[in-house]
A and B are shown apart, each in its own frame.
Chain A
Amino acid sequence: MQDENWPLWEVFIRSKAGLAHRHAGSIHAADAQMAIDHARDVYTRRSEGVSIWVVRSADLVASDPADSEAFFEPAADKIYRHPTFYEIPDGVENL
């Protein structure tokens, strides 16, 4: 049998209750249990986490950078979606 790498997994860690899981990096593991263990041993050596997600990198679907203009630029000129777009007259509070 060829000595190929164990599959690659992406690791997401919640650093403390109340925060979202955040991408921490990747690890190699043969199975899901091992992936969780490895994520724990590689990425939480200094109490960086309270919860771990792992997902096989092959199962992750990403947007294509070639599409990024079509995807993300149209949002850039819709400045009226941000509260700072609106001028508030002096004297109006709690808005």
Chain B
Amino acid sequence: MDRDGAPTPDQALLGTVLRLGDNALILGQRLAEAMTHGPELEEELANANFALDYVGQARMFYAYAAELEGGGRDEDYYAFRRDGHEFRNLLLVEQPNGHFGDLTARQFLFEQFYLLQLEALARCADERLAAIAARAEKEIRYHLRHASQWVVRLGDGTEESHRRMQASLDDLWRFTGEPFAADDVDAAFAAHFGGPDLPALREPWRERVAAVLAEATLTMPADEWMDGGGRQGRHSEHLGYLLAEMQFLQRAYLDARW
């Protein structure tokens, strides 16, 4: 910390990298969980590609975090040896898969944000992070195209699919304030590394989301109460179970290597 309590540049960089890694890992874990339950065989392959991309991104972010932190940590330390309150992912990404409409809505809302975030990060002053972001950006551009198309198909498909898709959006909407609520880590990262101004991303996000929802004949939910806290380590109950399952082997066999 600086004397005034603001994060130092090192802390801001590490904090940002870990938050990115946590988002990617938790979402990758959710998508892996959805495997073998897809609505059609071809979608099964698509979903697995997305899961792989996210796990791959998490590994890149964590490997970088381990280097920044030193002390012999590795990517698996961050994934398997931390408790819930140490995870700094958005509440949105830890939400359960639900049905295909729920999963699609979650991916769509998050990836609309994540793409904007990555575009900005790819221009930040930390070269290593910028390079990882540039690579991830390409992957997410494809994910988002896929998710957007499904929002449109389900929204403008049958009466049932329209109703389900609208309900999924309404249900998840309360998690769409958190990505844009900057805290002191984000402020320090923006100040020292030219990182994204998160609150400023909200308007372009709204425009992009609105365009897809309009095509999908869906109604943009009203901004009412917004949930938050994930990025500060205060999570929904869902995260604990996700971690218990994911970390089981590493926790049960402490001295084992896999």
- The answer to whether A and B touch directly, with their CB atoms under 8 angstroms apart, is yes
**Which residues of A come within 8 Å of B, CB atoms?**
1, 6, 27-31, 33-34, 37-38, 40-42, 45
Instruction: Give the residue of B49, B142, B145, B153 whose beta carbon is less than 8 angstroms from that of A45.
Output: B49
A40 to B146, CA, bound (A): 11
For residue B149, which residues in chain A have a CB less than 8 angstroms away from its CB? 33-34, 37
Instruction: Give the residue of B42, B46, B142, B145 whose beta carbon is less than 8 angstroms from that of A28.
Output: B42
A30 to B42, CA, bound (A): 11
**Which residues of B come within 8 Å of A, CB atoms?**
40-43, 45-46, 49, 142, 145-146, 149, 153, 158
For residue A30, which residues in chain B have a CB less than 8 angstroms away from its CB? 153
A28, A31, A38 interface centre (most CB from chain B within 10 Å): A38
For residue A42, which residues in chain B have a CB less than 8 angstroms away from its CB? 42, 45
A29 to B153, CA, bound (A): 12
A38 touching B42, Cβ below 8 Å:
yes
B153 touching A41, Cβ below 8 Å:
no
A34 to B42, CA, bound (A): 10
Chain A nearest CB from B9 CB (Å) reads 38
Residue of chain A at shortest CB distance from B46: A41
A38 touching B46, Cβ below 8 Å:
yes
B40 touching A6, Cβ below 8 Å:
yes
A28 to B45, CA, bound (A): 12
B46 touching A37, Cβ below 8 Å:
yes
A73 to B42, CA, bound (A): 40
For residue B41, which residues in chain A have a CB less than 8 angstroms away from its CB? 28
Chain A nearest CB from B132 CB (Å) reads 20
Chain B nearest CB from A93 CB (Å) reads 52
A41 to B47, CA, bound (A): 9
For residue B145, which residues in chain A have a CB less than 8 angstroms away from its CB? 37
For residue A29, which residues in chain B have a CB less than 8 angstroms away from its CB? 42
Could you list 30 examples of A-B contacts with CB < 8 Å? Answer: A1-B158, A6-B40, A27-B42, A28-B40, A28-B41, A28-B42, A29-B42, A30-B153, A31-B153, A33-B149, A34-B42, A34-B149, A34-B153, A37-B46, A37-B145, A37-B146, A37-B149, A38-B42, A38-B43, A38-B45, A38-B46, A40-B142, A41-B42, A41-B45, A41-B46, A41-B49, A42-B42, A42-B45, A45-B45, A45-B49
